C-alpha cells in the first residue's frame, strides 16, 4: 500500500473512532458532522432509505430518543479499502441502549460505510446498517454473535 493510502486509511479510522465517541455521547451535531449533504443511508430500522442530511438528522434524533440511558456502541473487525478519493469500510458493531430497569439491550449488527474525499476531507456519502432476519419467523435476529 502506498504511503498516501496508508495515511488515508489512518485518517478514516480516526474519523470513525471519533464518530463512535460522539455517538456514545449522543452528540447529534458531532454525529452529523461526518456526513456529506447528499448522503443516502440504509439504516437498520424503519425505512428502506434516508436521502440527504436533513431527513437523516430527523431519523437520528428519533433514534437517540429511544435511548434513555447510556449507549452501547463498540466496533470490531473494521476493514477499510482505500482508493483515489474513494473508500469503503465494513465492520461489525455491538449496538444498543439501556432499558428502564437499567439493563443493557444490545446486539451485534453489520455496517458498511462509504466515503469520498470532498475538499480534502473524508466524508460519509453512504452507510448501511442492518441485522439479519429469521426467514421462518420474519423477525430480526438480535442474539447472533461473531
Partner 1 sequence: MSRNKTEEAWIRELMNTWVKAVRAKDIEGVMSCYVPDILLFDLAPPLEYRGVDAYRKNWEEWFSSFKGAVGYDIRDLRITTGDDAAFCHSLNRISGARTYGEQTEVWVRATVGFRKFDGKWMIAHEHLSVPFEMKEPYKALLDLEP
Residues that bind partner 1 (CB under 8 A): 40, 42-49, 66, 79, 81-88, 90, 92, 108, 110, 112, 114, 116, 125-126, 128, 130-135, 138-142, 144-146
Residue whose CB is less far from partner 1, 30 or 129:
129
- Could you tell me the three cell numbers for 65? 430518543
How near is the Cβ of 75 to partner 1 at its closest, in Å? 13
**CA atoms of 93 and 78, how far apart (whole Å):** 9
Contact call for residues 37 and 57 (beta carbons, < 8 A): no
Supply the minimum distance, in Å, between the C-beta of residue 52 and partner 1: 13
Are 81 and 63 within 8 A, CB to CB? Answer: no
Q: Give the nearer residue to partner 1 in terms of CB position, either 102 or 146.
A: 146
Alpha carbon distance 73, 55 (integer Å): 23
Comparison of 21 and 47: residue with beta carbon closer to partner 1: 47
User: C-beta of 2: minimal distance to partner 1 in Å?
Assistant: 11
Residue whose C-alpha cell reads 428519533 in the numeric block:
62
CB 122 within 8 A of CB 33: no
| Minimum separation from the CB atom of position 130 to partner 1 (A) | 3
Amino acid at each position: 500500500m502506498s504511503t498516501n493510502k496508508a495515511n488515508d486509511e489512518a485518517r478514516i479510522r480516526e474519523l470513525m473512532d471519533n464518530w463512535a465517541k460522539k455517538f456514545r455521547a449522543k452528540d447529534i451535531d458531532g454525529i452529523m458532522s461526518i456526513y456529506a449533504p447528499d448522503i443516502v443511508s440504509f439504516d437498520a430500522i424503519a425505512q428502506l432509505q434516508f436521502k440527504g442530511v436533513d431527513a437523516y438528522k430527523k431519523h437520528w434524533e428519533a433514534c437517540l430518543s429511544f435511548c434513555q440511558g447510556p449507549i452501547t456502541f463498540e466496533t470490531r473487525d473494521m476493514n477499510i479499502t482505500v482508493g483515489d478519493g474513494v473508500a469503503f469500510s465494513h465492520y461489525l458493531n455491538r449496538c444498543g441502549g439501556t432499558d428502564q430497569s437499567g439493563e443493557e439491550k444490545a446486539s451485534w449488527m453489520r455496517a458498511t460505510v462509504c466515503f469520498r474525499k470532498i475538499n480534502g476531507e473524508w466524508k460519509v456519502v453512504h452507510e448501511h446498517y442492518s441485522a439479519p432476519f429469521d426467514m421462518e419467523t420474519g423477525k430480526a435476529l438480535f442474539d447472533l454473535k461473531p
